Amino acid sequence: MDKSITVIGLDLAKSVFQVHGINAEGEVVVRRKLSRSRVLAYFNQLEPCLVGMEACATAHYWGRELRALGHDVKLMPPQFVKPYLKSQKNDMRDAEAICEAVTRPTMRFVPIKTPDQQALLALHGVRDHWVRLSTRLINTLRGYLAEFGVVAARGRMGVESILEVLADDEDNRIPDLARECLMPLANELRHVKRQILEMDRKILKAHRANSICQRLETIPGVGPVIATRMVAEVPDPGIFKSGRAFSAWVGLVPKQNSSGGRERMGQITKKGNPELRRLLVAGAISMIIRAKRSDFTRHPWLSRLLERKPMMVVAIAMANKIGRMIWALMVKGEKFNPAKLMPA
């Protein structure tokens, strides 16, 4: 039993894990491989120590398990560990790099998610899967039917008209062979739509059971999907020093290329969490569309902004602001104040 170990770098894998441990003086104490079945037993016999891991697949599970054994577990983004990798990449050197990176005072860590948060993320992931599958099926049906002169309008009503044409055996525009081939796709599309509705019901149920989600929903452009995704993706909003730091993590701040005291700002960085960024931009676009339908009576500042900038530039700016408001409500526990959204 290695009682002198103070820091361990653990390289995760599916079956074989690599351990790199050092003592208080920085000397290497242990380098060894562990099978999956022996990981918990090995760490159970160690004195509590600092354990570093990359925030990759299964990292949150192992983080919870090792923390339950009394260890101080830290997860790190893999891109922040990469600079500490020496020479060629292999499991042993990966574990060594993790061990060195976790001791850096300026290292950024990832909060360990709870099983409930991961279950909510799984719910969103499955819903995204069904939505992508629905899009593929709709595009496939539209493409084939267009070859027979059947072109439907965009949107849900257009899809319904396509399904009605396929179900109508008396419509002679579509040959029997083509109808026989496409009907299974139409039936699959109906099944996929039912699954999406079921996922939406589960998300709405989780949304109503969470007080933070209900506060976030009061922000314009934020609905149950964005609110529940935020709660699942950001277990500890306090790790961000400001709303701008949160927006930077989502990837909604301008890319800097400054030098010599001269600031140069480019397009948004698109770093961080792509799903949250996509949802925030979609929420901002929906807010702009609703404002246009009401002739900007509630948001006259949007009209003035759209006169100067393209719609997508305005949407990105609004998504950035919505993200900052979400961070503020999650950190401070406040309710949304419409006066803080934008000046009149």
Task: Read off the pLDDT of residues 110-169 as tens digits, 9 standing for 90 and up.
Answer: 999 999 999 999 999 999 999 999 999 999 999 999 999 888 888 888 888 888 888 888
- Mark whether 186 and 226 lie in a shared domain: no
Show the domain range for 231: 211-340
- Mark whether 197 and 221 lie in a shared domain: no
- Mark whether 79 and 195 lie in a shared domain: no
pLDDT value for 264: 61
Q: What is residue 341's DSSP assignment?
A: T
- Mark whether 279 and 311 lie in a shared domain: yes
pTM: 0.84
Distance CA 207, CA 78 (A): 31
Is residue 108 included in any domain, yes or no? Answer: no
- Mark whether 203 and 219 lie in a shared domain: no
- Mark whether 320 and 215 lie in a shared domain: yes
Among 44, 66, 101, the domain-final residue is 101
Residue 26 in this model has a pLDDT that exceeds 90: no
Q: Taken in order 61, 63, 67, 71, is the CA torsion positive or negative?
A: positive
Is residue 109 included in any domain, yes or no? Answer: no
Distance CA 299, CA 343 (A): 9
pLDDT tens, residue by residue, 87-121? 888 999 999 999 999 999 999 899 999 999 999 99
Is residue 191 included in any domain, yes or no? Answer: yes
- Mark whether 175 and 219 lie in a shared domain: no
Is residue 235 included in any domain, yes or no? Answer: yes
CB atoms under 10 Å from CB of 236, counted, come to: 13
Is residue 197 included in any domain, yes or no? Answer: yes
Is residue 327 included in any domain, yes or no? Answer: yes
pLDDT value for 287: 85
- Mark whether 229 and 326 lie in a shared domain: yes
Structure tokens at 292: 């246009």
Which of left, alpha, beta for 28 (phi over 0: left; psi -120 to 50: alpha)? beta
CATH number at residue 41: 3.30.420.140
- Mark whether 44 and 83 lie in a shared domain: yes
- Mark whether 227 and 181 lie in a shared domain: no
- Mark whether 225 and 289 lie in a shared domain: yes
% of the chain beyond a pLDDT of 70 = 91
- Mark whether 52 and 160 lie in a shared domain: no
Is residue 107 included in any domain, yes or no? Answer: no
Number of domains observed in the structure of the chain:
3
DSSP labels, 300-327: HHHHHHHHHS-HHHHHHHHHHHHHHHHH
pLDDT value for 202: 96
Residue 3 in this model has a pLDDT that exceeds 60: no
Among 183, 208, 233, the domain-final residue is 208
Among 208, 228, 253, the domain-final residue is 208
Is residue 106 included in any domain, yes or no? Answer: no
